[in-house]
Structure 1
Amino acid sequence: MQLSHTLNLVNVHAEGEVGNVIVGGALDVPGETMADKMDYINEVDDSIRRFCLNQPRGKPQMSVNLLQPSTRDDADAGFIILQCDRAHAMSASNCICVVTVLLETGMLPMTEPETVVRLDMPAGLVTAMAQCRDGRCERVALDMVPGFVEALDVKIQVPDVGTITIDVAFGGCYYALVDSGQLDIRICAENAEMLSRTGIQILEAVRQQCSVRHPKLPSLDEIVYLMFTDHVDGDAHALRNCTILPPGRIDRSPCGTGSVARLAALRARGQLEVGECFTMRSAIDSSFEAQFVHDTKVGDRAAVQTRVSGRGWLFGTQTIGVDPHDPFPLGYELGIGA
């Protein structure tokens, strides 16, 4: 076997969402901050993203997390989230994956019963509190970057669907929040194909009709994901989420950054009190806990400080590379249903 450009990864998922972590073989990405490094991947050289996420080494239904030395003195490690469309600024499920790998592989020392890990991310500093026992990272709670509302009750015209009302909110990246009841679709595994197909159609229309720009991070200027929202019958403090990611697939986890965006919208409507906690459930019924901690500000905007927690599990290791004679050194892309 002749392989060049090899990378070593740990396979891990958080509440069903795969977020593998590169632990060896990758070079530092140019940039003074983690946001600069993300922009470099998105604007200058995204070969490592394509190498990891394109077929045959990758697939749309996963993320790969690129560990980097922290660019700030108050963080223990940095990382950038790579997905099939681009590098992204923030993800709770990927934070949980990274913290679980850092501690369970010994890359960072584990202290029981709790280890604090501070993560340098493009969206800002994220503090993780990992519950640890018998050498395992059992649960990770994240003090998320502040979330805020960009706009409420925005009307969007969607071809072949009609008029949809959305909220636009930031939870680490920008979301279009859509009550699934408008489309008479419940969030469940059986409706995954319909949710992903309809969701990406709405997201495309939203991107054409809405513009955003983060007040402090100007490169965050796009509505990245759409999240369908629903309730859980019989439980006022349980909510159901289904985030749709390009090119048209659902997040298997309940989506932490989307949960923050949803809490920001609830607070803006006066429907959320300090200290309230919700169990967020996904289409596969996995769960995060999401708590509104206190009000804050992002620039001149009212914002919410939240804490999201969930679990991660390692399930393997792998080495990927490329044969020098492979005609597809950076892989290839096909439609998600191909």
Structure 2
Amino acid sequence: MSTGVTTVCTSVDFHTGGEPFRIVAEPPVEIPGRSVAQRRELAVPGSPADDLRKLLCLEPRGHADMYGGFITEPNDDGADFGVLFWHKDGFSTACGHGTMALGAWAVSAGVVAIDPSGTTEVTIDVPSGQVRAQVHTDAEGRAASVDFVNVPSRLVASGITVDTSLGPVTVDLAWGGAVYALVDVAQLGAAAGSSQADEVGRLGEVSCEVVPENLTALIAVGREIKAGLAGHPDTVHPEDDRLSGVYGTIFVDRFGSLPSGELHQRNVTVFADGQVDRSPCGSGTAARVAALHATGELGARQTLVHESIVGTRFRARVLEETADGVVPVVTGSAHRVATSTFEVDPLDDLVPGFVLR
């Protein structure tokens, strides 16, 4: 007896440092556009691509912090493939943890042949430019680690004051394929002494740290900072307005240097509309490297150990300096967790789904 259930698509799911990435290698809908950037521009609400994003990202098939990508044709012969990144609120310009996952997937799925040297380069067109995943394989051909080589990144502006319910907060802006607001979390301790502190949680009553028990409060302040920077002239991309605007707020704990000489910091990135990156954030780490290099805090050959709120780590450094900033390389690992076939029951009234945050 026929169930009437329709198979929509199959995905391969990875996590990079704890952050999910759902890969749809063969999207079942047309995604028009001559380039990945234009495909993102045309993936408007109501388009087939956006409807598919919602189906795969919203509950009950996804969740508020789901992330993924649709594989597309590359812009030209210079890349192995393109990708349209998505999350619960739409399509993003960049995704470092997703790039690492895509590198591991491309090697494991045979999309790109493994280089006998043990390092296989996967070149990917993304909306913000062209990025590379350098996949380091072990003797059995498994992806042991992945280097994310980003687009040129730079410090955009420093010392911008944003009013929040905790009081004024000072932020720096940096570009790592998207614009991020960088915030030293320690300053929130002084700001949280205001009478309004209780409105965003317990941050005013505890030490200001990037720890899970402060996450609800940090999400609230992160949303306020992003909203407070809307339309700020320093958030406008000088060449492509499609890349303008603040993508996320990065709260940073500074720990100084490790015995190895590496710089150690912990962060949590609150992006889109209150979405939380479980990993140290790939493109956000690239932005952080650019900012620390610009101020001299990160030496020319020094490594940043960037830790996430769940304790996973990326290691990042400046690969080279260019006229457009620095090219960061961020190293992490990505692991396959599932292969899923998504279906739609014609009697299901929760299609494409819902989200509670």
Relative to the length of structure 2, the TM-score reads 0.87
Correspondence 1:154 to 2:180: no
Return the letter of the residue paired with 2:108.
Answer: E
Letter in 2 for 1:257: S
The separation in 2 between residues aligned to 1:161 and 1:172, in whole angstroms, is: 29
**RMSD of Structure 2 on Structure 1 (CA):** 1.9
1:76-125, Cα deviation, whole Å (9 max, x unpaired): 01111110111011111001111111221223322341111101111111
How far apart are 1:25 and its partner, in Å? 4.3
Higher radius of gyration, 1 or 2: 2
Structure 2 counterpart of 1:174: 179
- The structure 2 residue matched to 1:38, chosen from 40, 64, 74, is 40
The answer (yes or no) to whether the contact 1:168–1:176 under 8 Å persists in 2 is yes
Q: Does 1:85 align with 2:89?
A: yes
Match of 2:227 in 1: 204
Alignment partner, residue 327 of structure 2: 305
Distance 1:25 1:118 in 2: 20
Structure 1 Cα separation of the partners of residues 137 and 44 of structure 2: 35
Offset at residue 321 of structure 1 (A): 2.2
Q: Give yes or no for contact 2:298–2:304 (8 Å, CA) kept in 1.
A: no
Deviations 1:235-279 (A, max 9, x none): 261121210023323211011211121122223323333222111
2:351 counterpart of 1:329: yes
User: Is the CA contact (8 Å cut-off) linking 1:42 and 1:87 kept in structure 2?
Assistant: no
Q: Which 5+ residue runs of structure 1 have no aligned equivalent?
A: none
Structure 2: runs of 5 or more not aligned = 190-207
Map 1:77-226 onto structure 2 (within 5 A): 77-112=81-116, 113-133=118-138, 134-158=140-164, 160-184=165-189, 185-207=208-230, 209=232, 212-226=235-249
User: Which residue identity does 1:244 align to in structure 2?
Assistant: V
Q: CA deviation at 1:43?
A: 6.2
The residue type equivalent to 2:216 in the other structure is E
Q: Describe the shift of the 1:327–1:23 C-alpha distance in structure 2 as closer, same or farther (beyond 3 A).
A: same
Query: What amino acid is aligned across from residue 178 of structure 1 in structure 2?
Result: V
Residue range with higher mean Cα deviation, 187-196 or 313-322 = 187-196
Structure 2 partner of 1:232: 255
| Structure 1 residues 247 and 218, CA gap change in structure 2 (3 angstroms) | closer
Give the equivalent residue in structure 2 for 1:22. 24
Structure 2 residue 98 is matched with structure 1 residue 76: no
Instruction: Tell which deviates more after alignment, 196-205 or 15-24.
Output: 196-205
Larger mean Cα displacement after TM superposition, 306-315 or 322-331: 322-331
| Equivalent residue runs for 1:271-310 within 5 Å | 271-298=297-324, 303-310=325-332
Identity %: 27
8 Å contact kept, 1:227–1:242: yes
Q: 1:269 to 1:77 in 2, by over 3 A?
A: same
Q: Which moved more, 1:120-129 or 1:197-206?
A: 197-206
Give the number of equivalent residue pairs. Answer: 330
Q: Shift of the alpha carbon at 1:208?
A: 5.7
| Separation in structure 2 between the aligned mates of residue 277 and residue 56 of structure 1, nearest angstrom | 40
Partner Cα distance (1:269, 1:42) in 2: 39
What one-letter code is carried by the residue in structure 1 that aligns with 2:299? Answer: E
- Aligned residue for 1:190, secondary structure, equals helix
The structural deviation recorded for 1:34 is 0.6
CA distance in 2, matches of 1:229, 1:162: 18
Amino acid at match of 1:16: G
**How far is the alpha carbon of 1:12 from its aligned partner?**
0.7
Residue from 255, 265, 270 that aligns with 2:281? 255
Over 3 Å counting, the alpha-carbon distance change for 1:291 and 1:28 in structure 2 is farther
Q: Which amino acid aligns with 1:47?
A: D
Instruction: Give 3-state SS (helix, strand or coil) of 2:25's partner.
Output: strand
The yes-or-no answer on 1:51 pairing with 2:73 is no
Q: Residue type of the partner of 1:130?
A: V
User: Once the 2 structures are TM-superposed, how far is the Cα of residue 36 of structure 1 from its aligned partner?
Assistant: 0.3
Give 1:35 shift: 0.3
Distance in 2 (CA, whole Å) between partners of 1:62 and 1:135 is 28
**TM-score, scaled relative to structure 1:** 0.92
Write the distance in 1 (CA, Å) between the matches of 2:178 and 2:272: 14
- Note closer, same or farther for the CA distance 1:57–1:215 as it changes in structure 2 (3 Å cut): same
Specify the SS of the correspondent of 1:317. Answer: strand
SS of match in other structure, 1:49: helix
Deviation at 1:211, TM superposition (A): 5.2
Cα displacement (A) at 1:150: 2.0
- Per-residue deviation, residues 56-88 of structure 1 (Å, max 9, x unmatched): 211111201111121221100111111011101
